[in-house]
Structure 1
Amino acid sequence: MTDATLDVVGIGNAIIDLLAHADDSFLTEQNLAKGAMTLVDEDTAERLYAAMGPVTRASGGSAGNTIAGLGSLGAKCGYIGKLKQDELGAAYRHDLLAAGVHFTTPMASDGPSTARCMIFVTSDAERTMNTYLGACVNLKAEDIDAEMVAAAKITYLEGYLYDEPHAKEAFHRASDIAHGAGRKVALSLSDAFCVERHRADFLDLIANRIDILFANESELLALFQTEDFDAAVERLKPMVEIAAITRSAQGSVAIRGDERVESPAARVERVVDTTGAGDLYAAGFLYGLTQDLPLAECGRIAGLAAAEVISHFGARPETPLREYAGLD
């Protein structure tokens, strides 16, 4: 096996985040389900965008946020995601390249426009997301850069992308390439509703193609259709090499065989916006794994990365995470 030249390659929905503050009355007026992620069509996306107040624009998507966090920690990364050759697509591509991320996915010249997520953040730090998936769901197996995947220690798959048959084929091709090169494959379950839609497929994917699993408690319970957290952990243990499960204020649990490490939640002065907490947790944990650090240290870095991102507006770090986690 040749030495890896990248730490992590992320594969996911390439989405531009459009963030704005809002109050509960605005959500009611627009008939938005507070705290939920709702898929919308292009007409609804245009209507909501027109109704938003001042907007903060940022390249996002779950795996994209994780890759940005890894870059802030000093990791070498690549990204695979589908964009349209339009204004938002050009902005997304620019942000990746400016951050030193390897990006080679061909941009679409026709079809749906670049995906966007309109995120309304209320004063209680809840985020209400309305997502137009657009071009990002058109990622196909032929878009997977085999050389990039083979060069990465870990290929990180975003569960949100699993809705389309051709996206599933892309996941399978990427995992086959990674394992053929002697690398590892990680999966984020992304969302409990996503788990409920794809439970059988996810169980098969995890058992046969995944080495490292990321989930929050509700996603894990949905996967095994139980309310017993410890029972779900026991069922998961033989299926993957490593699992990292977040539990909000209770911190997180990492397992590797019979090893179980519980990490407390990192202290935050004030929670401003919970967008990206799970994505940045994964970034910190993956960084630790690629540096061969103990699970406890992986959990510590992950918790700090999540704490940094929820302390401000937006889903990507404002303070360099390497400094924030005391790695320098």
Structure 2
Amino acid sequence: MAEAKYDVLTIGNAITDILARVEEDFITSEKLDKGIMHLIEGERSEHLYALMPEDKQQISGGSAANTAAGVASLGGNAAFVGKVAEDEVGEFYANDLREAGVDYTTRMLEHGAGSGRSMILITPDGERTMNTYLGACHDLTEADILEDQIGSAAITFMEGYLWDPPEAKRAFVKAAHFAHKHERAAAITLSDPFCVNRFRDEFLDLLRSQTCDYVFANVEELKALYQTDNLHDAVQAVAQDAEVAAITMGADGAMAIANGEVITVPAFKVDKVEDATGAGDLFASGFLFGLARNQTMEEALKLGCLSASEVISHVGARPLKNLRALALTHGLAV
């Protein structure tokens, strides 16, 4: 088997996060429910975007893209597959993700929905009111899945958030097929208990059919997958269904289940959790990078926990410190 060009290739929603500080009356006048995430349509998206202050901050985002950026920060080779439109937001997204060190070549959508964006309005009390337009994200198709690209990645990783449009489902199954054809691994993250409750049977089938080799979840997602309140029972069940399961446990660290063995590591100490956004995404960065580089489960778990600890120590879902340098200071192999 040829050496992998990429350590990790991720597939997911390509969403530009647009953050701006606004006054309370902005929330009121736009009839928004403060502190809530609203799914909005294109016209509403354009309306809010036009009203946002000029000093707004933008960053290429989406769960799987954050994971790819984390792999790059660890010194790995990362690629991302996700759909944006041929518009101003899409051009920004592509350039910003590439600047983060991620190979991004997915063909832009020329006609149809605009690029996905999440407009995050921050009021003086620190509350975040999110307005998310998925747009072009849902136009990812099988045509965007390239065998040569998938076959050159040690691990292909998909976010559960994308498991909704029928075309996107077919795209990921095709990606998993290409990965296995080239003797590579395919992985999925369950993303959210809401996703699990909607697609439980399909997620279980992905594991039991060995379409996906690895699964990522937090404790609540795993318990939702097996419809149990008992973590031990859920761990026993996933051990039967997945080659590798990686479970994040917040302040209690993380565990991996593989070959009938359960390995746990503690969390890295964080003085203050500033923003938990992206913790799971960055845990996946470290763990996947470790697996791609043939580390032990324990070593990969530690890299995952360290990466997560960095991202929760500040606002934003991307690391501010170089993760490779941070890992070396903690004596971890990268």
How far 1:127 sits from its partner (Å)?
5.3
Q: For residues 226 and 27 of structure 1, do their structure 2 counterparts lie closer, same or farther at Cα, with a shift above 3 Å needed? A: farther
| C-alpha distance after superposition, 1:171-222 (max 9, x if no partner) | 1100000001100001011111111111111111122211111111111111
Worse-superposed segment, 126-135 or 262-271: 126-135
**Matched position secondary structure for 1:204:** helix
How far 1:133 sits from its partner (Å)?
0.3
What are the residue-to-residue correspondences of 1:151-190 with 2, within 5 Å? 151-190=152-191
CA contact (8 A) 1:124 1:272 kept: no
Partner of 2:17: 17
In structure 2, what is the Cα distance between the partners aligned to 1:153 and 1:7? 5
Partner of 1:145: 146
Question: Pairwise CA RMSD of aligned residues?
Answer: 2.2
What are the residue-to-residue correspondences of 1:260-299 with 2, within 5 Å? 260-299=262-301
Tell me which of 290, 302, 306 is aligned to 2:304.
302
Q: For residues 295 and 99 of structure 1, do their structure 2 counterparts lie closer, same or farther at Cα, with a shift above 3 Å needed? A: same
| C-alpha distance after superposition, 1:128-176 (max 9, x if no partner) | 5432100011000011121010001000011111110000000110000
Tell me which of 238, 241, 244 is aligned to 2:240.
238
**Paired letter, 1:195:** V
Q: For residues 114 and 202 of structure 1, do their structure 2 counterparts lie closer, same or farther at Cα, with a shift above 3 Å needed? A: same
In structure 1, what is the Cα distance between the partners aligned to 2:101 and 2:250? 31
So what's the TM-score if we normalise by structure 1? 0.92
Partner of 2:133: 132
Partner of 1:87: 88
| C-alpha distance after superposition, 1:214-272 (max 9, x if no partner) | 11111111111111111111111011111111122222111112211122222112222
In structure 2, what is the Cα distance between the partners aligned to 1:175 and 1:206? 12
Tell me which of 322, 329, 333 is aligned to 1:320.
322
Gaps of 5+ in 1: none
How far 1:72 sits from its partner (Å)?
0.2
Tell me which of 236, 247, 257 is aligned to 2:259.
257
CA contact (8 A) 2:11 2:80 kept: yes
Gaps of 5+ in 2: none
Partner of 2:57: 56
CA contact (8 A) 1:280 1:309 kept: yes
CA contact (8 A) 2:214 2:245 kept: yes
In structure 2, what is the Cα distance between the partners aligned to 1:260 and 1:288? 17
In structure 1, what is the Cα distance between the partners aligned to 2:257 and 2:298? 10
How far 1:43 sits from its partner (Å)?
3.1
So what's the TM-score if we normalise by structure 2? 0.91
CA contact (8 A) 2:12 2:65 kept: yes
CA contact (8 A) 2:45 2:133 kept: yes
**Paired letter, 2:301:** G
